[in-house]
Amino acid sequence: MKERVKKEIEYSDLMVESVRPHKYKEGRMQAQLKQIVTKTSKYPGADGSSDKQDALYEAEDFGEESNEFRSTQKRIAWIDVPNNSTIESVQTWVNKKYPEGTIYQIISYHIDDCITDGQMNMISNPSTELTLDKLKEKHLLKNNKKEPILKYGQKMYRALYFSRTRRADINHLNLDLGIEKEENAKAGDESEVA
């Protein structure tokens, strides 16, 4: 049996889009990192084979052609950087130290899978403005009409994080990760929570 669908993932270089004071942590700043991730799936023409059975003939013998589907995602992640950082200084650092850096995604039915230990600590501190409800709203997967996307009647959450090396996406849903979501990366939004 041969693998029927071939999948490829291409990552653009990481780009530093902006640097600004951190909204929740004193003495540091945040950099907005952007990466374009392109996923290509190549489906062979119908030849009668499956994941369990080989075909007797090739797809060409049936006059079938293969199909290719591409999806492109713009991924945004916020990461802490030292005070007095600039776009140029952070970009130089990223290019030199982490040429294989990745913005990977986590998709889950459970918000706990998508938030960090630091965020959990912050929401338990009554002196911060961060709440679990704000994090749920920030990570909730929505369609183009800003409505929650449901699977089996359940809400789904998505988080994006920086890794110093190539890192595969984490999917707790058992579905294809071809989900498109425009990242809200305007100044003052909740996406800057680290």
- pLDDT, tens digit, 9 for 90 and up, residues 99-135: 999 999 999 999 999 999 989 998 888 888 889 999 9
Nearest to 194 by CA among 142, 140, 130: 130
Q: What is the mean pLDDT of residues 177-182?
A: 43
Nearest to 156 by CA among 177, 168, 173, 132: 173
* Chain center to CA of 128: 26
Match 């952007």 to its residue by tokens.
34
Residue 16 and residue 33 in contact, taking contact as beta carbons nearer than 8 Å: yes
| pLDDT score recorded for residue 21 | 95
Q: Residue 34: in which H helix or E strand, if any? A: strand 28-43
Instruction: Return the percentage of the chain with pLDDT > 90, whole number.
Output: 60
Residue 139 and residue 159 in contact, taking contact as beta carbons nearer than 8 Å: yes
Residue ranges of domains in the chain? 6-48+65-192
| pLDDT score recorded for residue 25 | 84
- Whole-prediction pTM value? 0.76
The residue ranking higher by pLDDT, 190 or 19, is 19
